[in-house]
Structure formats: C-alpha cells, structure tokens
Structure 1
Amino acid sequence: MSGTAEISLEIAHEAGSWDDLAAVESLAQAALAAAARDLSANEGQPFPEDPPEVSLVLVDDAMMAGLNGQWRGQPKPTNVLSFPAFPLDPGGMPGPMLGDIILARETIEREADDLGKPADEHITHLLVHGFLHLFGYDHIENSDAERMEAIETRILASLDLSDPYGETEPV
C-alpha cells in the first residue's frame, strides 16, 4: 500500500542573498505539495507511508558554478541542480530521502528579469522541475522532454501559474 503524496522539506541556506527564508520555504512547500499531489493523481506515482524528504539548498552563483563543474563538467552557474538520493524511474517507490534540489539566487533573478516574470514564479517552476528530476524524469531525449514539460505545465497550472514553455499541452 502506498502512502499519501506528502513531502518533508529541509532547507539549508549555504550561500548568497536569500533575504526571506520563510517566504522561500512557504513557496517550496506549496510547489512540492502540488507536484506530489499531481504525480500521485495523474502519473500513478506511489509514495511511502512516511513522507520522503527533500533537501532544498540555497546558494549563490559562485557555489553553483563549483557544483555544476564538479558534477556536470560545466563550471558555470545554472539555475537549478537536482541530485536524487537513489536512482528512481518515474513510477518507482521512493525511499525515505528523495534527494537535493539546489537553487542559485543570482541566476534565477537574472532569468526572471529576462522572462519578465516575478522571481517567485520562476523559483516555483524550478522547484517543480527539480522535483521531477528526483523522480527520474529527464529531458535528454525529445520525447522525455515533452512529457516532463507537459507535467510541469500541468502542475504550475494547478498553482495558477502560466506555461513556462509557451504553449505546452498538459498530459
């Protein structure tokens, strides 16, 4: 029997100017709860009885560039990195620890400005995106990217946020 679609969230502020940590935590709780509910209801994703934990790590561009270089061979900042605690295929039962989602403040703010949207909306999208990676979703192949983007779009729509990819059809 699978548990309810709930997530336990731990936040670590490692570097950078993340002024209102309570607001970021609230945003993360809402985004991850919506994503968990959606995966359970629409993708048949099982959840363990005890809510699995996600670690949200808040960093600056310098720290993100170091992590991106170390783990992906790209020594430059990026907006979000996800590190699953255990390999998981979409639909597989997660363990007690899902993994880490790492966000870089300066890159996120720069991208939000370029997109003409509030930083909180962009952060929400990146949280959902990173969360899906923890469940084994990826965007390497076009068909996988289309599926992942459609799921993201559907989750964001449940939060009254626009499609970050333009006109993606929800699945």
Structure 2
Amino acid sequence: MILVEADVSEEWDSSTGWPALAERAVGAAVAASAHAPLIESGLAVEVSVKFTGDDEVQGLNASYRGKDKPTNVLSFPMFEAALLPSLAQTDGGEVLLGDLALAHGVCAREAAEKGISVADHAAHLVVHGTLHLLGYDHEQGDEAAEAMESLERAALAGLGIADPYRVHG
C-alpha cells in the first residue's frame, strides 16, 4: 500500500488538487517500476511531497547538495531501495520511503518553456522524484538514464500525460 502525504504552500494555485495529483503520480511511478508489488503488499510505504517555493528548495539544495540554486525537484530517500523487494513480502508495518520537494517557480517556468500545464509538469517531477526514491538514478550513465526515462514515460502514459522526452519539431 502506498501512502502519500502532501504539503502545499501558497505559491501553488489552490484550485488544483495537488495532494491528489501527488498521490496519483507516486502510485504511477511505483506501478511502472520493478517495485510494483509494494502496491498490493501489506506494508505501508509512505512518500511525503512538499509543493513549495524556489527559496525553500534553493535552501535545501544548498544544504544537502552544495548547490546554491533552486531546482525543479529534490528527492530525499529515507530507506535503502535495495531492501524494497524483500519488504514487498511483508504482511504489515510501515516504511518512510522518502521526501520530495518541488519548487513552484522553476516548475512553472519549465512548464511554460515546454508548452504544457504546470500540473502535467508537476506530475512528471513527482514521478521522476519517486523513481529516485526507489533507487533509480539517471546520473549513473546513459543506460541508467534511458531506463529511468522509459519508466517515466510508462508512468506518465498511465496518467494520460504525453511523453515529456518526445522531440517536437
């Protein structure tokens, strides 16, 4: 079972259902991954998603990654992803998979540049961040990046969101 806790700051348009979007995107990412059995397991796997502003994400990025600039999404794993397959057999208990933080300004600018809605881009960022929490890492070479992008495409397709990596021309 996947549990998603969302915290939404004032920067994010309150008319959009960000907590529901986060829940759908986290679920889609897990379902597309090798860790899909967690969805039906008795284990409660929790992900926290914070929809916040650029300043807060910049502070987190500086503190934890040594990069003093905002970025679109940060992932903070709280659990060793290599242990997840054995946990899918568990009948109960809880594990905090990790936290995600999305920067509104960066997300909105990127969405405008791509010509897509902020909600669709935010869903992509939540999927991307969740895959990081599950142990996927696009920075481990071309093969790892292609594998992660393939999972993102599958998860987003399940949400009815177009391929964010398709070249428009």
Name the TM tier (shorter chain): 0.7 to 0.9
Question: What's 1:155 paired with?
Answer: 155
Question: What's 1:3 paired with?
Answer: none
Query: 1:19-49, CA deviations, whole angstroms, 9 ceiling, x for partnerless residues?
Result: 317600111111122222222xxx2544241
Question: What's 2:137 paired with?
Answer: 138
The RMSD of aligned alpha carbons is 2.0
TM-score (norm: length of structure 1): 0.84
* Count of aligned positions: 158
Counterpart residue identity of residue 10, structure 1? E
Output the CA distance in 1 between the equivalents of 2:107 and 2:119.
9
Output the CA distance in 1 between the equivalents of 2:51 and 2:42.
28
Question: What's 2:63 paired with?
Answer: 70
Counterpart residue identity of residue 128, structure 2? H
Output the CA distance in 2 between the equivalents of 1:164 and 1:90.
30
In the alignment, is residue 30 of structure 1 matched against residue 24 of structure 2?
yes
Q: CA deviation at 1:50?
A: 2.7
Q: Residues 16-165 of structure 1 correspond to what in structure 2 (within 5 A)?
A: 16-20=10-14, 23-39=17-33, 43=34, 45-47=36-38, 48-89=41-82, 92-93=85-86, 96-140=95-139, 141-165=141-165
Query: 1:95-149, CA deviations, whole angstroms, 9 ceiling, x for partnerless residues?
Result: 6110001111111001000110000000010010000000000011111101000
Identify if the C-alpha distance between structure 1 residues 142 and 18 changes in structure 2 by more than 3 Å, giving closer, same or farther.
Answer: same
Identity between Structure 1 and Structure 2 (%): 39
Counterpart residue identity of residue 144, structure 1? A
Q: Give the number of the structure whose residues are more often helix, by fraction.
A: 2
Does the 8 Å contact 1:82/1:101 carry over to 2? yes
TM-score (norm: length of structure 2): 0.85
Does the 8 Å contact 1:57/1:103 carry over to 2? yes
